[in-house]
A = this chain, B = another copy of it.
Amino acid sequence: MENQVDELVRFFKALAEPNRLRIIGLLAQKPQSVEQLATTLHVGESTVSHHLSRLGEAGLVSARAEGYYSIYALHTGALAAMAKKILHEDALPGLALGMDVDAYDRKVLSAFSDASGRIKAFPVQEKKFLVILRHILGEFEPGIRYSEKRVNQILARYSADTATLRRSLVEHGFMAREGGGGMYWRVQRTAGPHGERESEPTFPRE
């Protein structure tokens, strides 16, 4: 969730400051009072208190009251836990959870299509042309054989230049054509352990 990002930001922000890192280094040697840290670091006590507060919010330190002293100690486990979290499970892609990863595609489509969804012009750049092709590909169902005439019929919804679209779909491997009969089908792409794989299932007619 978005919460995941916020938690990480709080954690990394806590560590992203020189004096706070030094405090961690000092507390790694032994628990210490605010005054001790302040004199060692040559900064004000209120400043140290502020830093310790931020470190505490991130779960990195905690205080033990001792008289009117606050003896702060390092939570070594917190660092280790976070390191493992980053290292072990690849939580990295999880950071992008809940984001519209198709925003770019939508932007390209709307830039090259008119209100009715027809293509105004073919993008020069292959990267954007592929977005168009992938979109049009959605009109074809996997596992069905289409005659060339039928293919052209469908493509005509997007552009008068059906020949270019048809050829591009084949060239880029989105669709395949039977050698002699002039039948087309959508290529199935299944992500295998070693990259993409194409499969050619049996075909009913549309």
Contact = CB atoms under 8 A, between A and B. Distances in A.
A40 B100 contact: yes
Given A36-B104, A39-B107, A15 B25 contact: no
* Secondary structure class of chain A's binding surface, majority of residues: helix
Contact of A24 (B28, B79, B92): B92
Contacts of A99: 22, 25-26, 40-41
B22 A18 contact: no
A35 interface: yes
Given A40-B101, A103-B40, A95 B9 contact: no
Contacts of A101: 26, 29, 40
A156 interface: no
Interface stretch (A80-88, A133-141, A142-150, A159-167): A80-88
Contacts of A29: 93, 96, 101
A42 interface: yes
A21 B87 contact: no
Which of A16, A35, A103: most chain B CB closer than 10 A? Answer: A16
A104 B16 contact: no
A21 B8 contact: yes
B8 A90 contact: no
Which 5 pairs, one residue from A and one from B, show the smallest C-beta to C-beta distance? Answer: A25-B95, A25-B96, A28-B92, A12-B16, A83-B83
Given A12-B12, A25-B92, A40-B100, 5 more contacts: A25-B94, A25-B96, A28-B96, A40-B104, A79-B87
10 contacts: A6-B18, A12-B16, A25-B96, A25-B99, A28-B90, A29-B101, A40-B104, A41-B99, A79-B86, A87-B87
